[in-house]
Structure 1
């Protein structure tokens, strides 16, 4: 399989093969999609496996790609390929005649729809899925890891391409090595430095990415940073401390922190969580819009409270809301991180197992102050730590003496 393929195979159990698809499926990938589907279907048949297509990372499937899916799977109506997809994509696919596909909302649902394995001594037949809980848990971990990689691989690929063109690097491996070196030396996540490469203006001089930056501004003097007392350049530790503080202040049962990513249309990227079910945090790893509560808070630039997830029709019908309810969460509160300039740079979202109006007014005031403090820190971090990482990358590039492109 090539790096450009929209499909990625997961080594699964001895009864199931899972293939992940990512990105929009359109006419441009039709030939490749057909070739890859044929290959994986043939392999699954040889191994006696059922094939599962995980399409949770696929936003749309155009008519050409749907025709390809129909042609490649129509002969499997008796034992259809299982498809895991978002509610929106399932509605889109349900409008077509796709007899070789069976649609499901979750991987667990797809796995448990299969017949049990034959008892020992029974006549030999193609192996089928059995023991759903244990194998499903293993598969979920595999799938979640692949989905996480898919969410960042496109962004990192764009950054690699820009570095290759800018510095005349020999190929993607050299560009990735440069990104990784900058990430490790400056303690900035690889995804964050890739996002900065994509969104920052080109280097200004041969010697400096940003000429004349001068003395760095000190971190903001805020109540949260004073109480934190740790390394303010350590993004992971500081956000973990902020989330722990938010959970303690709100007396929540669980929580999550998202930050916006400028290179991904300011989508909310999950940076940390406490006490959340894996099915839920996989759903909110990258949030692009309502009805997910943090996205609503981001859009409105004000806190959003959901006293009862089950009573909110839009949220309860969404995979994220369904995952919340399955995990026993009933109330959600999300506080946006607003900068002094009025931009939302992230959210702190808290969860409670019981329904009801929550948190109390005084607690909400404390959460707003905390969110504002984290927003101020994040602005400072992007102006100093992230730009320092870009400067380091610029200085460390291979063949620095060559003219920048």
Structure 2
């Protein structure tokens, strides 16, 4: 941009591109600003990206530039341009004038996190589609796409937070934290997006205390490492199948970054098509979603006789794997928060669990909920502390 103002473009994630403005946006620069917005918005739309306008380096904005911004964005109220880092003077101008096509965020990190939440919510609805005769390799591509968005947003946040050269450096930090603390890469990335910014240069969560892990209440629990997420979930899955005399089972955990959607984390006896369909559950009529919303167990005695389920992709997926009866138990903490659901399948229709089994499953689900809460406060935060220390150069 000519005069005292400059503009640079930086693709920070697979979902967003940042237009960085600096200097003074006076009447002369308003015309160039308009041309840049027109070009960058068109290119972003063609690539399916969100445009983020970083104004942290802008010292002054004229009324003409504000009018230009409105002229090029007012039609985007449903998909606004995200504006970040405005100084108090610039912020006052942008808030006193109605600008339906922009949305203000105090930081670039906050804007990128919002991009992630919006995209994830949309994906949660999109992935619940009939699998049909989709080849197996397509399931893998879908699974990769479901996680790459969150990882990309985390990379963008790390680039902005630590002034990293590019996405590769951010990915290296995520991978190092994942491997050092044996936390799945997707879980680390989600935590980066969801957690508040680090409180000090040396510590992300100063003053936090490490509580001992809660009792798992699983068979041979002493042989299960509570810091090993996969090990705990597999042990809980097989214990639930045995206890309930079920033919198949699955465990979903909530993800705050994805509007508390349920993410499939462990499964037994379910084929690839079913797992693809139930990989990310945003809401009913999936039985796991019903149990999460109700906060109590939900039983479907016969999927085929349930009109809402039988005519929906999740019901058809269950019938395709031979499941006629379903029972879902929410994982509820002492505070009343549901952070996951255990779902059980039976080939034969009918409610099959007796009261003793239901009570034991409730106890198991509660124990798993308390473990998951501890794991997030302890192991995941340990991984974030490690990442922060590495990025700050103190590793």
* TM score, norm. by length of structure 1: 0.66
Q: For the structure 1 residues 107 and 231, does the alpha-carbon distance in structure 2 shift closer, same or farther, using more than 3 Å as the test?
A: same
Instruction: Map residues 242-261 of structure 1 onto 2, 5 A cutoff.
Output: 242-261=236-255
Aligned-partner SS, 1:209:
coil
Aligned-partner SS, 1:170:
coil
Q: For the structure 1 residues 288 and 166, does the alpha-carbon distance in structure 2 shift closer, same or farther, using more than 3 Å as the test?
A: same
Aligned-partner SS, 1:386:
helix
d(CA) in 2 for partners of 1:147, 1:295: 21
Q: Which residue of 2 aligns with 1:174?
A: 169
Matched pairs, number: 284
Instruction: Give RMSD over aligned pairs.
Output: 2.6
Among candidates 272, 278, 281, match of residue 272 of structure 2? 278
d(CA) in 2 for partners of 1:29, 1:107: 32
d(CA) in 1 for partners of 2:275, 2:344: 13
Cα distance per residue 1:313-345 (max 9 Å; x no partner): 111111111011122110000000000000101
**Residue 268 of structure 1 contacts residue 295 of structure 1 at CA under 8 Å; is this kept in 2?**
yes
Aligned-partner SS, 2:214:
coil
Tell whether 2:204 aligns with 1:209: yes
Offset at 1:105? Answer: 4.4
Larger RCO of the pair (alpha carbons < 8 Å, separation 6+) = 2
Structure 2 unpaired stretches of 5+? 1-10, 17-40, 49-77, 79-122
Q: For the structure 1 residues 258 and 196, does the alpha-carbon distance in structure 2 shift closer, same or farther, using more than 3 Å as the test?
A: same
d(CA) in 2 for partners of 1:278, 1:298: 24
Q: Which residue of 1 aligns with 2:117?
A: none
**Residue 227 of structure 2 contacts residue 379 of structure 2 at CA under 8 Å; is this kept in 1?**
yes
Among candidates 308, 316, 319, match of residue 314 of structure 1? 308
Tell whether 2:151 aligns with 1:152: no
Q: Which residue of 2 aligns with 1:381?
A: 375
Aligned-partner SS, 1:223:
coil
d(CA) in 2 for partners of 1:199, 1:4: 18
Q: Which residue of 2 aligns with 1:76?
A: none
**Residue 253 of structure 2 contacts residue 339 of structure 2 at CA under 8 Å; is this kept in 1?**
yes
Q: Which residue of 2 aligns with 1:194?
A: 189
d(CA) in 2 for partners of 1:336, 1:206: 39
Offset at 1:224? Answer: 2.7
Structure 1 unpaired stretches of 5+? 7-25, 34-61, 63-85, 90-103, 109-138
Cα distance per residue 1:107-158 (max 9 Å; x no partner): 41xxxxxxxxxxxxxxxxxxxxxxxxxxxxxx62211111111111111111
**Residue 330 of structure 1 contacts residue 351 of structure 1 at CA under 8 Å; is this kept in 2?**
yes
